[in-house]
Amino acid sequence: MNAAYETAAAADPFARVFSSLASLATHLSSPEALTATHEQAEADVEAGSRELGRLLLQAHLEWRARHEEDHLSALDPHERAALAGGRRRLEKGHHRQLATVLRPVTVTRCALRGAGMTNLYPADAMLGLPHGRHSLGLRRLAVLEAARGSYDTALEAIDRACGGRVVGKRQVEDLVRAAAVDVAAFYTARTPHPAPAGTLLVISVDQKGIVMRPGHLREATAKAAAKARHTFRTRLSTGEKSCRKRMATLAVVHDAEPAIRRPHDIIAPPGGRTGHRTVRKGPIARAKWLTASVREDAETVIATAFDQAEARDPEHHRNWVVLIDGATHQRELIQTEAARRGVTVHVVLDIVHVIEKLWAAARCFHTATDPATEDWVGAKAARILAGDASGVARDIRAEADRRHLTDDQRTAADKACRYLENNTDFVHYDQALAAGWPIASGAVEGAARHLIADRLDITGSRWTVPGAEAVLTLRTVISNGDFPDYWIFHARQEHERLHPLPDQHIYALQA
């Protein structure tokens, strides 16, 4: 670099930007560029543009540093002490590195110092610099990529976006955990949009296991794992469990307009549909909101879902429909929470689970390839949808008796009957269809696949509680469509934590 350029750069921080732009333009207009392929030219422009952006950001920071020096130098020690909590002494030329999506830059700033006091850096608050060396833009990129796929693929995506390595894998994991700390506060501060009294308020709950690292299982699972004795060393035999999973609880709250239907709108009659009558569609979920946790227990997650529901209907004017999958513990928690809040809930057993039990029962009477199986299941399901679940259970048992099936041969049939009888109060589908309520928990089932199976259940993944909780909660925020608003909220919260208000009165003077 010649002396003239050094002098120009010292006088104008943006001189390097113009020099870089001129150099890129010269390269692209050179005789050698005439023989380049479009791919080569594109790569040159991409790399040059990224470096140009980095130089622009660096120049902006240097320009601000000079203004800060001029401003603070113009104050006498007493004025600085009054503005900076007793810190009188000004020390220039303090540096910190900042890794950004444009590659690393250096932030130069002034320190205000006082005996026995920590340094105060006014520029840190003005710039909203985070703790650590990774910019908020890089953190945001890391969160979005890590929530989408494995940490290895996230790191590769970040490297591609930034033109090289700017963050390590362990650092990405730390950044994701740090980014999730304000999710609960964010949703506490949000007020859902109200809906008319005739709009249904639907809640559904599900659970799914996540494979954990040793030491991160719940106490009961850890004890079961310690006692487990497996037949084989390399795989599980029939009926054995690995005891490596910790259950995550998910809940979905959504609105829906009632949609009245009949049993044959849900399941085709034996022989199939004729096509003479249009099938009525069920209630369509809208304004869906998800919550999930692997750290908290099911009781806490269900209470959070009820908080969201109550925020949507504080006066309890709407019909609350709760869809369950037959898990007794979940149902009891839901009923207890509803009683505690004084709200009436209409509990409905998910019809898909019922039909799955019927298919299993059908194997007791039909071979796997028997076409009559479908008609058998369809006829039984239609009767259940019409409100005759108890009659179906009696008929299945009677058929097993008539065929003289052994206990082993009729296991699935008896299990289906017990399932219907244990949930007899929640299979009044005739009433639910007449009222226009949903009868399938597809929303939460889909959420379980999307939130957990697609990310936390990746082959080979082993999670800690903090790591799984962070990814799970951030994926719920993204699925809710709230991530842009959440990131603004999180950035503000970070600013308040790092730069509390008592020290911020000085910053306004630099504008």
pLDDT per residue over 53-85, tens digit each?
A: 999 999 999 999 999 999 999 999 998 888 888
**For residue 166, is it within any domain?**
no
The DSSP bridge pattern shows strands 105-113 and 286-293 to be unpaired
Provide φ and ψ at 371, rounded to 5°: -60, -25
115, 214: one domain? no
Task: Note the pLDDT of residue 394.
Answer: 96
439, 504: one domain? no
The answer to whether the CB of 384 falls within 8 A of the CB of 394 is: no
Task: Say how far apart CA 353 and CA 350 lie, in whole Å.
Answer: 6
Task: Note the pLDDT of residue 1.
Answer: 46
**For residue 163, is it within any domain?**
no
pLDDT per residue over 152-183, tens digit each?
A: 999 999 999 999 999 999 999 999 999 999 99
Query: Is residue 318 over pLDDT 90?
Result: yes
Burial class of residue 410 (count of CB atoms within 10 Å of its CB; 0-12, 13-18, 19+) = buried
Average pLDDT over residues 11-29: 93
pLDDT per residue over 80-100, tens digit each?
A: 888 888 999 999 999 999 999
Task: Note the pLDDT of residue 3.
Answer: 52
Q: Which domain holds residue 208?
A: 199-453
If one compares 56 and 216, the residue with the highest pLDDT of the two is 56
Residue 146 pLDDT grade (very low, low, confident, very high; cuts 50, 70, 90): very high
Query: Is residue 510 over pLDDT 50?
Result: no
Overall domain count for the chain: 2
Query: Is residue 501 over pLDDT 70?
Result: no
- Half-sphere exposure for 181 (CA within 13 Å, toward CB): 11
425, 504: one domain? no
**For residue 308, is it within any domain?**
yes
The residues near 233 (Cβ < 8 Å, ≥ 6 apart) are none
86, 203: one domain? no
Average pLDDT over residues 262-278: 79
102, 222: one domain? no
**For residue 480, is it within any domain?**
no
Query: Is residue 446 over pLDDT 80?
Result: yes
How many helical (H) and strand (E) elements, i.e. helices and strands, does the chain have?
21, 7
Q: What is the side-by-side strand order in the sheet with 286-293?
A: 286-293, 245-256, 200-211, 320-324, 345-349
Task: Note the pLDDT of residue 232.
Answer: 64
pLDDT per residue over 329-371, tens digit each?
A: 999 999 999 999 999 999 999 999 999 999 999 999 999 889 8
pTM comes to 0.86
Task: Note the pLDDT of residue 228.
Answer: 64
Alpha helices in 282-327 (DSSP H): 298-312
